[in-house]
Each structure stands twice: as structure tokens, then as C-alpha cells.
Amino acid sequence: MLHVENLYKKYDTVLALDGLNMEINKGELYGFVGPNGAGKTTTIRIIAGLLSATKGEVWIDGERVEKNTKVLKSKIGYVPDFFGVYENLTVMEYLEFYASAYGIYGKDGSMRASEVLDQVELANMEARFVDELSRGMQQRLCLARALIHRPMLLVMDEPASGLDPGARRIFKNVLRNLCMDGYTVLISSHILSELADMCSNVGIINQGKMILQGEMEEIMLSIDSSNPVVITVYNQMDLAIELLKSHPLVSRISIDKNVISIIFGGSKEEEALLIRRMVDAGVMITSFTREHNSLESVFFHLIDPERGNSYADESCT
């Protein structure tokens, strides 16, 4: 559905995108995550046809973006990272205005407005003033506006930031339903945990490059295997340390009283074998657990391995 190849963007002296690649398939809810300044907004604006790339290609539904902006705009719904001020405008007037911008007038416009309000769980809000809606509702109204012309791909720039848990839950629900209806959604955030339970896929961008991309669940699992294993030993501490030091899959050991933290590059089965080996040698173990890093430390580890490691060290002492 969306194919981004070797994208570069230079603003005067700043290289904002440095050979970015991205692949999104139909029906995916794709989380585009990276720290502030990583190049998310730049990428999204190029995809939406609002900004031209210095180099590289963007393809949507088999068509190249910059070459056919008009057709492409009909395929894309763009939700920007800001929401304007709309004094004395009702929700219905607001949406009818955007419908008319796409050539949908009169009764057709109001019918289409009602449909998109339904899709974003804002039915019965037609007569409310836009400026009086809560932030979560305004965000969904923005989404309704982006849906008005029935695009196939929705691109949203940091829409979930600053939403309270209730508004977030509704937002997540709305996006999931849209994907089930066949829409493809790209949503950006600088906070991985904001998207982890929402998205089917994830791409992590840092300094204008895609550093990791894939299914959210798989990526979370693969990251887990680099987390420390924490072993609490009841007796024979010296023997336990000796055994661990000689184990080929143990790369780092830190000790705190009777608790040993190791970086262990093995599978679940190898974990079980290690426990057996220690117990057979006479070490009594009271617990053996793989730590699950917080999402944000995972994120820091990806974008900055040095900092990520020290973060992991802190969490296991």
C-alpha cells in the first residue's frame, strides 16, 4: 500500500531524512516511532504530498506520489500535528466545509459528515461548537475530516499525545475499526508505549533512518531476549558464579548479595538447561526470571545502544 524508498530531505544545512525506507501493507495499523527531531513530520508531510523530497521515491497503491499529486491526495487522509481554532463553527458546519472542498455539496455533504462522525464515535455531536469539544473529541473530529473523501491511507502525526486514558481508549478503538474496514493507518509518536498496544506493526526512525521495522509483537519479543536474566541463589554462590562465567551464552554478570544478573543469549530451552546444570551441580535456586524492560528503555536501547545498556544495568542492580 505504501512503499517509501531511499528518501532524503535536506532543509538548508539540516539533513532531516537520510535514506529512509518504509513498507506498509493494506489494513495495517502502523506505528511510526522516533524521538523528537527524528524526521517523522518530514516523512509524513512528504507522503501526504505537502512537501517534496530531496531524493527518493514514495509509492501509494502502486502510484508514485510527486508525479500525480491530485490523484494521490484523493487516496490520502492527513491528520496534522496541530488543530486550528474554529470560532463559532459547529461540528456539522466544519465537516460540511471540508466536504465541499472535495466537491461534496448540500445533502450529500451532510450525509457524508454524519457517516464520518459515526466512524469516529462522535455521532450526535453535530450541533456542538468545535472549540467547545474536549481535546480527545477535537482529535477525532480531525480524523473525521481526514476521512471525508474516503481515502485508503490515513497518515496521522502524533495524534495520541496528550490524550487522557479514556480518550485514548476510544481513539484506539476507532482506529482498529477503521483498519478492520480496510483502511490502512500510519500513526506517529515519540513514545513507543503510546502505540505498542494499539499497532499491528511498527517502524522505528532515528536521525532520518529507519532502524527497525516489523510486526509489533515480534519486535517486542526479539528485544526481550537481550534483557537480563535475574537469578536468586539460596546457597553455593561461588559455584553458581563459576558455572555462569564458564557458560558460552552468558556475556555479562553482575552480582548483588545473593542475586546474580546475567546477559544470556539463549532460548527458553537453553534457560531451562542452564537451571538444570546449576541445580545438578548443587546450587539451590529460589528464582530465575527474564526481566522485561520497560518499553521506553527498549526504545532508548534501539536508538542509542550505549544509553540503553546503562539503563538496563541500572534496572537490574
Closer to Mg ion at the Cβ: 79 or 113? 79
Say which entry of ligand ADP, Mg ion, none residue 38 contacts (CB below 5 to 8 A, set by partner kind).
Answer: ligand ADP
A 10 A CB-CB count for 163 gives 19
Q: CA-to-CA distance for 128 and 114, rounded, in angstroms? A: 13
Positions touching Mg ion (CB under 5 A) are 40-41
Pick 161 or 226: Cβ nearer Mg ion: 161
Residue 34 site contact among Mg ion, ligand ADP, none (CB < 5 to 8 Å, cut-off depends on kind): ligand ADP
Residue closer to ligand ADP by CB (options 109, 159) is 159
- H or E, element range at 79: strand 76-79
Give the separation between CA 208 and CA 17, rounded to whole angstroms.
4
CB atoms within 10 A of CB 135: 12
Alpha helices in the chain (DSSP H): 40-47, 69-75, 91-101, 106-119, 135-147, 165-180, 192-196, 216-224, 237-245, 268-280, 295-303, 305-316
Question: Can you give the binding site for ligand ADP, defined by CB under 6 A?
Answer: 11, 14, 16, 34, 36-42
CB of 9 to ligand ADP, least distance (A): 8
- What number of helices (H) and strands (E) belong to the chain? 12, 14
Complete edge-to-edge strand list for the sheet that includes strand 29-33: 76-79, 153-156, 184-189, 29-33, 201-206, 209-215
**What is the smallest separation between the CB atom of 235 and ligand ADP, expressed in angstroms?**
52
CB of 43 to Mg ion, least distance (A): 9
Q: Which is nearer to ligand ADP, 110 or 207 (CB)?
A: 207
The interface partner of residue 77, options being Mg ion, ligand ADP, none and the CB cut-off 5 to 8 Å by kind, is none
Q: How far is the CB of 182 from ligand ADP (least distance, A)?
A: 28
Least distance to ligand ADP from the beta carbon of 24, Å?
A: 17
Q: Which does 14 bind (CB under 5 to 8 A by kind): ligand ADP, Mg ion, none?
A: ligand ADP
